[in-house]
Amino acid sequence: MEIPAFSSALQGISRAEGQLNKAAGDIARASVAPSAVDSVDLSTSMVALLESRNNFAANTKVLKIADEMQKSLLDVLG
């Protein structure tokens, strides 16, 4: 028995990880070559970094709730 929320949350975490890695890379490149990246790109990267943090938190909560639901279901059935 699989709860769809698990796979959804894991996919969300995977997407957040990709977004985090891209934003972190952009920020790292900006600190190495300040003239290559303007402040708009840096602010966009910081927003993406914060967004990925929020996505991680939201998907972690989904995993926690899905786990609690599965435990409750097993208690009822078991």
- What is the pTM assigned to this prediction? 0.79
Calculate helix-pair angle for 39-77, 4-32, nearest 10 degrees: 160
Domain ranges of the chain: 14-77
* Tokens of residue 38, six digits: 């303007």
- For residue 68, the one-letter residue type is E
Q: What is the pLDDT of residue 27?
A: 86
Q: What is the pLDDT of residue 33?
A: 63
Q: What is the pLDDT of residue 17?
A: 97
Q: What is the pLDDT along the chain (78 residues), one digit of tens a residue?
A: 667 889 999 999 999 999 999 999 988 887 666 565 556 678 899 999 999 999 999 999 999 999 999 999 888 997
What span, in angstroms and rounded, lies between the C-alpha atoms of 24 and 73? 40
What span, in angstroms and rounded, lies between the C-alpha atoms of 64 and 72? 12
